[in-house]
Amino acid sequence: MSRNVIDVTDLTVEEIGELIAVAEDILAHPAKYQDLCKHKQLATLFFEPSTRTRLSFESAMLSLGGSVLGFSEANSSSAAKGETVGDTVRTVSCYADIIAMRHPKEGAPYAAAQFSEVPIINAGDGGHNHPTQTLTDLLTIHREKGRLSNFTIGFCGDLKFGRTVHSLVNALSRYENIRYILISPEELKLPRYVKEESLKKRGISYTQTTDLDSVIPELDVLYMTRVQRERFFNEEDYLRLKDSYVLTPEKLVHAKPDLSILHPLPRVNEIAVAVDRDPRAAYWKQVKNGKFIRMALILKLLNIPA
């Protein structure tokens, strides 16, 4: 049975530590890794739009000396003819050694994994989870802060539909002494199941607020997110909520000098472009980190020693 990563907790904390160490080593010595996946193939099955996740997976495999195949929209696959994800994945696992899959339906990568002969990586399932973005976020926090414990993190924006938030809250709940401040409009609060399963079950407390300004001075990490238009049931609600938070240089005046600002991207309007010049902005470094942690993950799931 091959090893899948559907949920971030499919990896132990120790394994995540190893992946971070390998990613750091790849960043420092990329040439050492350039042939490790020779003759291996990665399939990217994207039933939903993507820029960073799909291209970083592809770039990761190419930088390991492997090759890539796949599709980037459901309409160009037999899904358009009514094929099930199970049959699609069963087919693709005849051609590829490892599969990264994104799908608008929650649980689709889990269902697909039941039909696959090769490892399946969840590259985002609906409003549920996004474990490889979380690995990217953990690598970024580790590089920026030098630790994965003892800090205060604010999650800001669409905490209801933001799958990157759900996965990162879940992942961080296994580390020591993290304070969570959940900043969102009333309608876009973190779902109850995430609070129950990731926080309350582990006895972790959190603060909820609608006001970013009042908590920004307390934060070591600020995780901004976009309002997830495609998951709304009506456009009016989206239009009303989309600009709930806009991070500007003025808002950052009272933030800590060593704050790290993360965002999984794409950004719509929630971080002013002027913030990009602030040394606390870490989101473009985060984009780059995404490739290297995915290289480490591909090696691990293919059982190729780094």
Per CB under 6 A, residues contacting ligand NCD are 52-53, 124, 130, 133, 163-164, 226, 264-266
| Residue 178 contacts residue 207 (beta carbons within 8 Å) | no
Strand order in the sheet with 41-46: 67-71, 41-46, 98-103, 120-125
Backbone angles phi, psi at 49, to 5 degrees: -60, 150
Nearer to ligand NCD, 93 or 164 (CB): 164
The residues that bridge with 44 in the sheet, in sequence order, are 70, 100
Identify whether the C-beta of residue 286 lies closer than 8 Å to the C-beta of residue 140.
yes
Q: What is the DSSP string of 147-170?
A: -SSSEEEEEES-TTT-HHHHHHHH
Using a 10 angstrom Cβ sphere, with 0-12 exposed, 13-18 middle and 19 or more buried, the burial of residue 272 is middle
Residues for the chain: how many in total?
Answer: 306
Minimum distance, C-beta of residue 102 to ligand NCD, in the bound complex (Å)? 7
Grouping H, G, I as helix, E, B as strand and the rest as coil, residue 128 is coil
**In the complex, least distance from residue 133 CB atom to ligand NCD, rounded to whole angstroms:** 5
> Minimal distance in Å, beta carbon 1 to ligand NCD?
27
User: Do residues 102 and 54 make contact, with C-beta atoms less than 8 angstroms apart?
Assistant: yes
In the complex with ligand NCD, the residue whose CB is nearer, 130 or 242, is 130
Shortest Cβ distance from residue 168 to ligand NCD (Å)?
Answer: 11
Q: How far is the CB of 136 from ligand NCD (least distance, A)?
A: 8
Our CB check for ligand NCD shows the closer of 40 and 291 to be 291
Backbone angles phi, psi at 110, to 5 degrees: -65, -45
244: helix, coil or strand?
A: coil
Contact 82, 26 (CB under 8 A): no
Closer residue to ligand NCD in complex, CB, 36/183: 183
CB of 90 to ligand NCD, least distance (A): 25
Q: Using the minimum distance from each CB to ligand NCD, give the nearer residue, 36 or 58.
A: 58
CA distance 99 to 71: 11
Query: Which residue's Cβ lies closest to ligand NCD?
Result: 264
Which residue's CB is nearer to ligand NCD, number 116 or number 225? 225
Instruction: State the catalytic residues.
Output: 52-53, 81, 102, 130
Do residues 56 and 121 touch, judged by C-beta distance below 8 A?
Answer: no
